[in-house]
Structure formats: C-alpha cells, structure tokens
C-alpha cells in the first residue's frame, strides 16, 4: 500500500493521534527560518520559546504601537503567500478587511490540515505553537480583531492539547487578554476542534463549521474579508503563514524577500511522503530545485527510478519525472507544469506505482469527503470513483476513458468550493500524462461485458 493510501485510511477514521513520530534533524539543502528551533527540547513551552527570542516581534509591534497600515505594508512587502494551498498574498488578504470598526473582525487560523500527503502544520502545532500564536496576535492587531480562533483538525488530539496549553501560557504571560503589554489592544484566542471533515479545511467551510452549522462552504461573493464568521469581516490564514509573521516582523520584509524568487518569497515547508527513503517535513527555500528536496529526503526508496510527483497535496495534478527535471520549488515553476505548489505535500511515486490505482485511491477519498452541497461534486465524485472502479475491476468499456474525461471536465469550476476540482483536475492530468496505463486496463477489460 502506498503512502497516500495509508494516509487516506487514517483521515477517513476518527482516531486519537499521539505525538508525531518524525525525524526532524536538519538535512543539507534545507533553509530553516520557521523550523530553526524545532529540535530544542521543550520549545512548545513559552519559557523555552521566549529564551529563543520568542514574542519579541509581538513586543516590537505592541510596545511601539506600530501603525496598522504600516504593519500590513510590511507583510505585503515580504510578499509572503498563503501556505494553505491557494497561495494568495497574505498582506493583501489583510488589507481587504474594512478599516472601519462597525462590526467585530475575526482572525481564524486554519489548522484543519487534512489534505492527503500534507502534515507540515502538525509539526508547527506540536513543536512551535507559540510561533503561530504570536503570528495570530500580530495579525489580529493588524486587522483589529478582538477575537481569534484556532480551528484544529479533530484527529490532532495531541496537537490540540499542546495548543490549548500554549494559549493558556500566553494568557498567563499577558500576551493575550485585556490591554496586552500596556498597548490598549485586547485580544482573546480560542481553540476549536473540528469533527473530522476534510471540507472544513476550506476557508468558508471552516467558517460554517465554526458557526455551528454543517461544514458547507459558502457562496462567494461575499468574500470572508467582507462577510465571514458570523457575517463579520474575517481573515482565514494557514498555520504556516501565521508562523511566518513573527520572523517577518523581527527581521523585516526585505530580509524575508531575499529568500526565494521574486514572486515566491521565503521558505516553504514540504511534507514529503511516498516512495522516498526518509519521508518527513523539510523546509526549503522557494526556487530551489526539486532535486534539492529529493536529496534532502534521501532519494527514492530501493534505488528505483522516479515516475512522477504529486507536488501540492493529493489535489494537485501529477507531474512526470521528465517534467520534474527542470522544476523548481516555487509557485510559478510548478504552475508552468500544469500543477500547483498547493500546501507543499510532495508525494513521490516510483516506477512500480500503478497510476490508475493511485487515482482510484484519491477518488475514494474525495468521494468520501465531498460535502454533498453542489450537485456536480456530490454526484460527480461518486461517478468518477465508479468509473475508476470499473477500470480496476477490468470491467471498463472502451468509451469509459472519454466518459471519465467528460465527467471530470464538467466538474471543474462548476461548484462553490474547489473540492470537485481537486479530483477532476488530477484525474485529467493522470489521463493526459499516463494514457497508456489506462489503455492497458481497457485492454484487460476487453471481452467482458458489464451490465449495470
């Protein structure tokens, strides 16, 4: 069973997960900005974090009562992009929030990390929760939010405990609560545990879930920056994005922008899984080659050849080994290969992998996780799975490949959120890039007739 498969099995069941069992020692090729102190024992506690320079950024902002506009400009200047998947510039997102204060504003931290192949936020939540909390307080200050919420994935029980303790510690130290550090800014932070739905990691789905409703994504417009949580202006940021904020405030936007490429600045944490020797989380400067990452994680298992990479979590279209050769780890380069950097969940497939089986595996996940709101996704994910099932069961007809393409094509861009695209786009890319494997299944199916 592939790594993806085992991950999918895990996400589809409610389980209490203990601490993450990963070797986080720095590997050559890594540039650690966020994960600099990740190996320091007890870094998840506030004292250790402060001894390593924690909460300096918050003090810098609040004690000098930094101008909000300027703070947002600073974040805009760093060009840091949302690390949750869409890659939207964070500074701009904050800037969309109305500057007036007639409605309460909210900052939500999206810690509902459920994309198969992505587990970088878990490292941050379990090891560096204060970095995220510090980023959240700064972000809340910037958008004038009096309350913020950490929406954490239900299965992250251990991480939830760590974050809960961390929030309490921050209250005790006076970083949260009334009149923080004498600045007059008051802020409350809450932890909210999800109940195990992938869709609640979608921005508006998360808002619905937090409001106590069924975790259904909402129609846009209105966008959350105008009408989000409880119909008030809301910013939803990924854990990694928020964790970047203290570093940017401490070292300046220019220092951050020095890393990476002009459009994809800074570093990115990659969750590496699949057929590699050392799966894990690696922080690599944007713009480095894929080879750097592959070397850092010890190359493909068993000395086999690389077949393909799914670069941005399971919902990203596949990239073949050949296309990988000149691919660099930034948003633009991966987009030019028809895929996306997404959440940075790199899934490596070696030459022994059966692409059709991989796709079916993904289809099972997305069929299970479709929220059922929009018809093309609700019915389409099931249909795609059924067609793929007929492939793997050798019951496919010749026209099924075309049907699979047509079905996928008609799911893309037809729904409220992008869950339908998340299976339809990979499906199309798998068919486009490995048509011979689908045809092989078709040939095996020939002669058998199937009446449904």
Partner 1 sequence: MAKITINGKEFDVDAGKNLVDAAEENGIEIPHYCYHPGLSIAGQCRMCVVEQEGNPKLQIACNMRCSEGLKVRTDTEKVQEAVKWNLEFHLINHPIDCPICDQAGECGLQDYYMKYGKYQSEMREEKVLKEKAVDLGEKIVLDKERCILCGRCVRFTQEISKTAALGIYNRGDRSVIGTVNDEPMTDNYQVNTVDICPVGALTSKDFRFEQRVWFLDEVESICGGCSKGCNIFVHHKSGKHIYRLKPRYNSQVNEHWMCDIGRDTYKNSNYDRRLTQARLGGIEMPTAEAIQIWAADLKTLVAMEQTDEIGIWLSPELTNEELESVFKLFAKEWGISKFFSENVSAIVAQDEAIDGLLYRKDHYPNSAGFLQATKTYKIKLDSTDSLVDQLDKTKIRHLIIFGPEADRAKTDNSRIANALTHQTFSVLVTAQLSVAESFPQALGIPSLSHLEKSGSLTNHAGLTQEMKGGLKMFREALSTQDILAKLEEEYRKPLDSDRKLEARL
Partner 2 sequence: MKLLDSLTRRFYFVTALKGLVMTGRHFIFNLVGITKRHTIQYPEQRRKYSNRFMGIHVLTKKPNNEIACTACMLCATNCPAECIHIVAAESPNPKVEKYPAVYEIDLMRCVFCGFCEEACPVDAIRMGRDYEYAELSERNFVVGIEYLMSRPALKGRNVSIYHETDKVVKSDFQVSDFKKAS
| Selection from 257, 208, 258, 260 nearest residue 234 by Cα | 208
DSSP letters for 191-241: EEE--S-GGGGSHHHHHHHHTTS------SSSPTTTS-GGGS-EEEEEHHH
CB of 366 to partner 2, least distance (A): 17
CB of 386 to partner 2, least distance (A): 7
361 binds, among partner 1, partner 2, none (CB under 5 to 8 A by kind): none
Query: Tokens at residue 303, please?
Result: 């000395």
DSSP assignment letter at 40? S
386 binding partner 2? (CB under 8 A): yes
447 binding partner 2? (CB under 8 A): no
445 binding partner 1? (CB under 8 A): no
Whether a cis peptide bond, with omega within 30° of 0, leads into 222 is yes
368 binding partner 1? (CB under 8 A): yes
443 binds, among partner 1, partner 2, none (CB under 5 to 8 A by kind): none
Comparison of 157 and 392: residue with beta carbon closer to partner 2: 392
d(CA 225, CA 112): 19
Asked if 200 contacts 112 with a C-beta cutoff of 8 angstroms, the reply is yes
Going by their DSSP bridges, the two strands 280-285 and 234-238 should be labelled as unpaired
227 binds, among partner 1, partner 2, none (CB under 5 to 8 A by kind): none
Element (H, E) at 6: helix 3-11
3-state SS class at 291: helix
Q: Rule CB under 8 A: choose which of 71, 191, 371, 423 binds partner 1.
A: 371
396 binding partner 1? (CB under 8 A): no
Which stretch, 39-47, 130-138, 283-291, 363-371, contacts partner 1 (CB under 8 A)? Answer: 363-371
Looking at residues 147 to 206 of the shown chain, list those that interact with partner 1 (rule: CB under 8 A): 197, 199
Looking at residues 203 to 222 of the shown chain, list those that interact with partner 1 (rule: CB under 8 A): 214, 219, 221
221 binds, among partner 2, partner 1, none (CB under 5 to 8 A by kind): partner 1
Interaction site with partner 1 (CB under 8 A)? 197, 199, 214, 219, 221, 367-376, 378-383, 386-387, 389-390, 399, 403, 406, 410, 413-416, 450-452
Interaction site with partner 2 (CB under 8 A)? 386, 389, 393, 450-452
């Amino acid at each position: 069973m592939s790594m993806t498969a085992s991950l999918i099995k895990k996400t589809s069941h409610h389980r209490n997960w203990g601490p993450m069992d990963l070797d986080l020692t720095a590997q050559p090729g890594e540039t650690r900005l966020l994960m600099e102190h990740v190996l320091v024992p007890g870094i998840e506690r506030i004292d250790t974090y402060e001894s390593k320079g924690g909460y300096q950024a918050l003090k810098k902002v609040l004690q000098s009562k930094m101008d909000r506009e300027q703070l947002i400009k600073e974040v805009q200047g760093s060009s840091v992009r949302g690390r949750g998947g869409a890659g939207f510039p964070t500074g701009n997102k904050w800037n969309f929030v109305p500057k007036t204060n007639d409605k309460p504003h909210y900052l939500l931290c999206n810690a509902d990390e459920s994309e198969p192949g992505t587990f970088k936020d878990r490292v941050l939540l379990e090891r560096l929760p204060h970095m995220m909390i510090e980023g959240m307080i700064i972000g809340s200050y910037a958008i004038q939010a009096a309350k913020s919420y950490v929406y954490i994935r239900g299965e992250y029980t251990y991480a939830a405990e760590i974050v809960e303790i961390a929030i309490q510690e921050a209250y005790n130290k006076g970083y949260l609560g009334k009149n923080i550090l004498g600045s007059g800014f008051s802020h409350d932070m809450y932890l909210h545990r999800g109940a195990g739905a992938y869709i609640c990691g979608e921005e508006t789905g998360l808002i619905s879930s937090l409001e106590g409703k069924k975790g259904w994504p909402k129609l846009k417009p209105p966008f959350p920056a105008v009408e989000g949580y409880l119909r008030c202006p809301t910013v939803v940021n990924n854990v990694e994005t928020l964790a970047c904020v203290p570093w940017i405030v401490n070292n300046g936007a220019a220092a951050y922008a020095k890393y990476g490429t002009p459009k994809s600045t800074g570093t990115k944490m990659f969750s590496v899984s699949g057929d590699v020797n050392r799966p894990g989380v690696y922080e690599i400067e944007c713009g480095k080659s894929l080879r750097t990452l592959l070397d850092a994680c010890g190359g493909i298992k068993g000395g086999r050849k690389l077949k393909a990479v799914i670069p941005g979590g399971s919902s990203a279209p596949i990239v073949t080994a050949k296309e990988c050769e000149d691919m660099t780890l930034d948003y633009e380069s991966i987009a030019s290969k028809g895929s996306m950097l997404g959440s940075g969940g790199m899934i490596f497939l070696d030459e022994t992998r059966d692409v059709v089986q991989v796709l079916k595996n993904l289809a099972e996940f997305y069929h299970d996780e479709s929220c059922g709101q929009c018809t093309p996704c609700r019915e389409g994910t099931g249909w795609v799975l059924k067609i793929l099932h007929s492939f793997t069961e050798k019951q496919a007809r010749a026209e099924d490949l075309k049907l699979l393409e047509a079905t996928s094509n008609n799911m893309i861009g037809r729904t409220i959120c992008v869950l339908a695209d998340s299976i339809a786009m990979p499906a199309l890319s798998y068919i486009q890039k490995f048509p011979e494997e689908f045809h092989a299944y078709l040939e095996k199916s020939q002669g058998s007739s199937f009446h449904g």
